[in-house]
Structure 1
Amino acid sequence: MLGNDLGEGAVLCPLEPYQAAEFAAWTEANRAHLAPWLPWVHAVTDTASARTLLQHYAEREAADEGRIYAIRQDGELVGGTLFRVFDTAQGSCELGAWLAPEAQGRGLVTRAAGAMIDWAVDERGMARMEWMVSPVNAASIAVAKRLGMRHEGTLRSVFEMAGERHDLEMWAVLADEWRAARG
């Protein structure tokens, strides 16, 4: 399988439409854990809807506007990451991530997001990487901090999910900051 070795049996690799059944089953098994944070979890309810989401990202990748990846531990799907926004004209992208509860605490998301930022900066020349997070999602905020991102502000009542309005914190790291932190 093509992928980026994250160490300790973990790999970051493409998540593609042909994997829709696996992704749908994984989403269902982790729905309660993910639903407070991720709008797409409410839309992925079966193989067909999982395929629709994955096909959407396949088309966005073909247009160079976004990408979606799986995080696998010893071959098993344990989470994922994405470039929700990938704007080469502006040199800006937004990362997102999710992980099953049993896979937390191993640094998988931090290593996966770091690999994505390395690629965005080194290969694609991105100047700014963003991380949008609920102000009450402490685990995701901790990842942003470990990645050297700075809190730039809070967008109040910025989107609706499951009948409620939600705030999002904006965290970001600039390419020069990322390079300096890597040494």
Structure 2
Amino acid sequence: MFATTLGADGAELRPLEPWQAEEYLAHVERGREHIGRYIAVAAAAEDLVSARAYLQLYADRAAADTGRIFGVWLARGLVGGVVFRVMDVPQGTCEAVCWLESSATGRGLITRAARVCLDWAFLERKVHRVECRIPSANTPSINVAKRLGMAKDGVLRESHLWNGARHDMEVWSVLAPEWRERRGAGRP
């Protein structure tokens, strides 16, 4: 297993694996209400069995090169993550989703973690396009997309049924040449 340092605050990015289901479940329980406002990550882990199954799903996707899940850790433990929910390397596309517990927001953690993950997707896996589908009301995630240099492709009106309501989903993306240009110019 590898760990990538995310800055002077001791934050790290590491793969999340099935053997970490207990820690993952504890993280979800701490942040269930905050995380679950917009994404299904929290709903996928209701107990230890479902948490392990969710992480196993991504272990299987990693083995098939069709997805990945990474955790963001601080000294106190797991506080968030980045997942390549869909990854089609032959087609050169993937969809990223990220989240944090409310206690870890406002530090730039998810932007730093997403930057490392996008570097990996573009530079190691040679994908051409990374996109994020973000509920229009999720301003913090939209701001992360902007900080990563993503462009807003459009809005899928009322396309996402979540928690009994229909939500507009904004599609944000960045292409490999744009990413390399931003990184070469020293911009995050």
Aligned to 2:60: 59
How far residue 93 of structure 1 moved from its aligned partner, in angstroms, is 0.9
Aligned to 1:169: 170
How far residue 139 of structure 1 moved from its aligned partner, in angstroms, is 0.4
RMSD: 1.2
Aligned to 1:74: 75
> In structure 2, what is the Cα distance between the partners aligned to 1:41 and 1:78?
13
Aligned to 1:178: 179
> In structure 2, what is the Cα distance between the partners aligned to 1:113 and 1:40?
16
Aligned to 1:91: 92
Does the Cα contact within 8 Å between 2:35 and 2:41 map onto a contact in 1? no
- Structure 2: gaps (5+ residues): none
Change (3 A) 1:43 1:120: closer
My pick for the range that moved more, 152-161 or 136-145, is 152-161
> In structure 2, what is the Cα distance between the partners aligned to 1:44 and 1:55?
12
> In structure 2, what is the Cα distance between the partners aligned to 1:80 and 1:31?
13
Task: State the number of aligned residues.
Answer: 183
- Structure 1: gaps (5+ residues): none
The two structures have a TM-score, normalised by structure 1, of 0.96
How far residue 179 of structure 1 moved from its aligned partner, in angstroms, is 0.7
Deviations 1:83-124 (CA, angstroms, capped at 9, x unpaired) = 011111110111111101111111111111111111111111
> In structure 1, what is the Cα distance between the partners aligned to 2:29 and 2:82?
17
Which amino acid counterpart does residue 6 of structure 1 have in structure 2?
L
Q: Secondary structure at the match of 2:43?
A: helix
> In structure 2, what is the Cα distance between the partners aligned to 1:57 and 1:43?
12
